Structure 1
């Protein structure tokens, strides 16, 4: 289960999008006149006028689940999870529709809500991306939903820019570790895969290593941003403490 958060200015466009897919179904709603898209949009627009200063009153969240959970995800169960997600995210006392889609292999639904609540106040978005991660993790644990699979199984063609680089680094490190038994071999294997390894030092003299970074396509990530298993301490325990015999000049490590 993952949540993707968006904000927008047009209720009409968002409503048309979420209801326009084949077999789209509103599985739960509150405060909205159901019928035509125009009627649904009008309900949102009327409440929008309570706080016309807000330029992006449209809240749009896509909740996606793993295919393995599909047999359990009846409309009622999906609605229950989505409503609990909203409550935990602080999205309460406002108009919304939750629309289920069947156009992809992954079961998913779209929450469209008014960021202007029933009292005309703006629903807080403070730390919403961090809360989203915490809430989806809590709900996965509570309901026994499937967690993400190994990153190496993710299709990089669907990813973009930094995220794509991150996944490619993950796969490169994983493959390099299969054949490397030393830091030098590890660096060489990464270089073959287009990844540069950098050591992060505690002092200007570079006498003490405190961390590691992986770089690809102009993006740089700490080892732990790729995986907790790729921290400097864990890699050093695996590859042996020869890093202190590698000159600082070799730090860029493209080609060893």
Structure 2
């Protein structure tokens, strides 16, 4: 399993994302994004209710320490493909409880949400770093603590073991990591697939769906970004295809197609006139 932790400012933004997905530019895309998320709340702690109720409850406790700029604790746990369907909902809820204890917010508000919008199972835990006593759960050394937590859970639940993050690998493990595909190879593959998807598409929705078929998670908002199956994320601009660039290419393709449709009938008319002229000349000779 792989874990990632971020701290943030907005419970509203975090909970909106977990329930509805990333903000999309159109209503149609937003509905598709929300349906794809398949969000399932599997446990509550010191809080309860729907998305709006949770926002209100988290916000009220946040006021107990208004000086803290980043009260949102957001952990993402991704499980290996080989572990698909190995864990029950209760197992995942128990892992969320274990995480809360490891990061010492077990008495704070938190909610665990399971997602099924990618090919691998993953779990989100959103917690209020501020407790009912006004004290704040520390986020120091979260990178190392999450790595250690992941190794413990792999052993406890008999999950596929993965290498620790690079900072904590042995010399031998670091050497083995060097044999893995280079980041540049990932970028080049993304660039090739994205270019092909654009050439085969009429709209941004077409591009998004084609890239998802290749296993990429597509973030589409003010810009565009792609996350591959190994959780490596690239902005479109990093591979030469910013959102504006893609939209421009799609527009150019539409214009070229329209011109071809205009030229084609004219070509047929010109050919017909030439054939008629030839027939008339032949008739005059007879």
> Paired residue for 2:45?
30
Q: Which has the larger radius of gyration?
A: 2
Give the secondary-structure state (helix, strand or coil) at the position aligned to 2:140: coil
User: Where in structure 1 are there 5+ consecutive unaligned residues?
Assistant: 161-256
Distance in 1 between residues matched to 2:182 and 2:54, nearest whole Å: 37
RMSD of aligned residue pairs (Cα, Å): 2.2
**Would you say the 8 A contact 2:58–2:128 is kept in 1?**
yes
**Would you say the 8 A contact 1:85–1:136 is kept in 2?**
no
Decide which structure has greater helix share.
Answer: 2
Give the secondary-structure state (helix, strand or coil) at the position aligned to 1:54: coil
Trace 1:4-15 onto structure 2 (pairs within 5 A).
4-15=4-15
- Structure 2-normalised TM-score? 0.52
Residues 19, 32 of structure 1: alpha-carbon distance in 2 compared, 3 angstrom cutoff: same
**Would you say the 8 A contact 1:67–1:106 is kept in 2?**
yes
Q: Deviations over 1:11-60 (max 9, x none)?
A: 0000001111431000001122312x221100100000011110110110
> Paired residue for 1:111?
125
Q: Does 1:127 align with 2:141?
A: yes
Q: 1:74, CA displacement in angstroms?
A: 1.7
Residues 83, 107 of structure 1: alpha-carbon distance in 2 compared, 3 angstrom cutoff: same
> Paired residue for 1:77?
91
Distance in 1 between residues matched to 2:136 and 2:116, nearest whole Å: 32
Residues 157, 81 of structure 1: alpha-carbon distance in 2 compared, 3 angstrom cutoff: farther
Trace 1:183-202 onto structure 2 (pairs within 5 A).
none
Runs (4+) of structure 1 moved beyond 6 Å?
157-160
> Paired residue for 1:141?
155
> Paired residue for 1:44?
58
Q: Does 1:98 align with 2:112?
A: yes
Give the secondary-structure state (helix, strand or coil) at the position aligned to 2:16: helix
**Would you say the 8 A contact 1:6–1:59 is kept in 2?**
yes
- Structure 1-normalised TM-score? 0.57
Residues 62, 133 of structure 1: alpha-carbon distance in 2 compared, 3 angstrom cutoff: same
Residues 157, 109 of structure 1: alpha-carbon distance in 2 compared, 3 angstrom cutoff: farther
Q: 1:153, CA displacement in angstroms?
A: 6.2
Q: 1:158, CA displacement in angstroms?
A: 9.6
Q: How many residues align?
A: 159
Give the secondary-structure state (helix, strand or coil) at the position aligned to 2:85: helix
Residues 154, 34 of structure 1: alpha-carbon distance in 2 compared, 3 angstrom cutoff: farther
Give the secondary-structure state (helix, strand or coil) at the position aligned to 1:55: coil
User: Where in structure 2 are there 5+ consecutive unaligned residues?
Assistant: 21-33, 164-175, 188-286
**Would you say the 8 A contact 1:89–1:135 is kept in 2?**
no
